[in-house]
Amino acid sequence: MKPIVLTACCIVVLAMAGCSKDDAETLARKERVAALLAEARQAEAEGDAAAAESLYRQILAVEPSDANIHLSLAILSQDARKNYLEAMYHYQRYLDLMPASEKATMVQDRLISARTLLANQLATEIVAREQRAIASERDALQTQLKELEKTVRSLNTTIGSRDAEIVELQGEVKRLTRLVEKLKASEVETRATHASEIAAARKELEAERSKPDLSDTADQVAAAREEARKILEEPDGGVPEKDVALRAIAENATDEAPIAATPTRGKRYVVRPGDTFSAIAREAYGNAAEWPRIRDANRSTANPNGRLLAGESILIP
């Protein structure tokens, strides 16, 4: 209340002294300041710190060098508004305007206190900001973790499917390996069988080659048949019994071609074990591709299944 009393005293003194025009303006300004100050004190007493702060600022707009107003605004900013930076400014302005005041020590202490409170406030804000940033980052990481877990589950499913395919393929490989082994064993057995058959056929061929040539005997048979034919053309009367026998032989004779030891054109050939149409054609004609000629020439007398049988007599056309 001291500033109000002092202001009122000044107004009274000036009024009694007879102020000039400038003094009237000064008086009006001071009256304005006194009115604003009274309203600010009333608002502050009622706990309306915002209104009090606004009124103090209006006073400073009129009287920017009023140290007491700076002090009042500093105390309000620190204690009620918690605006420590604002409080520090006004404390410093008070010390600049009234460095030798009896309140200077108190103001300096409050300035130090405001600085400490500001530092704590800033630290708290920094920590809160960092905590918010950490929480935000944690949320982002949790989202990424969920996505990664989803990806891992998908990959595990794919891996399980691939493992099943691998097991199936391994089983298929084992099966094919066993099949190949069986085929190899069968091939070895077949080769052994063929080797024995080839050896037997070679042995028979050597035996056939060691037999005497029947070509001369075949010529003799042909000559005998010719003689028998001539006899058959003669009348039957008075034919000796031996001629009758010759006639019977001639009647039973066929037009078969003579038998040769090896496949020869125009002759018959006795099939040996291991003979095939192509092998006989290669030996008779010098070209295995001519084998259909031999098959077609013996369709009426060949084995019904079309295969050659050892001991069978065939015609080489």
Tens digit of each residue's pLDDT, the chain (317 residues): 444 544 444 444 444 544 456 788 889 999 999 999 999 999 999 999 999 999 999 999 999 999 999 999 999 999 999 999 999 999 999 999 999 999 999 999 999 999 999 999 999 989 999 899 999 999 999 999 999 899 999 989 888 888 888 888 889 888 888 888 888 887 776 666 666 666 766 766 665 555 544 444 455 445 545 654 554 555 544 444 444 443 443 344 344 567 888 899 989 999 999 899 999 999 999 999 999 999 998 887 767 666 788 888 999 99
Confidence (pLDDT) at 310: 87
Contact in structure between 280 and 248 (CB atoms under 8 Å): no
List Cβ neighbours of 266 (8 Å cut-off, separation of 6 or more).
257, 316, 317
Confidence (pLDDT) at 270: 92
Residue 307: name the closest of 267, 276, 284 by CA: 276
Structure tokens at 166: 């691998």
- How far is it, in rounded angstroms, from Cα 47 to Cα 39? 12
Confidence (pLDDT) at 182: 83
Confidence (pLDDT) at 181: 84
User: CA of 103: how far to CAs of 117, 157, 270, in Å?
Assistant: 21, 79, 149
User: CA of 54: how far to CAs of 50, 85, 192, in Å?
Assistant: 6, 17, 119
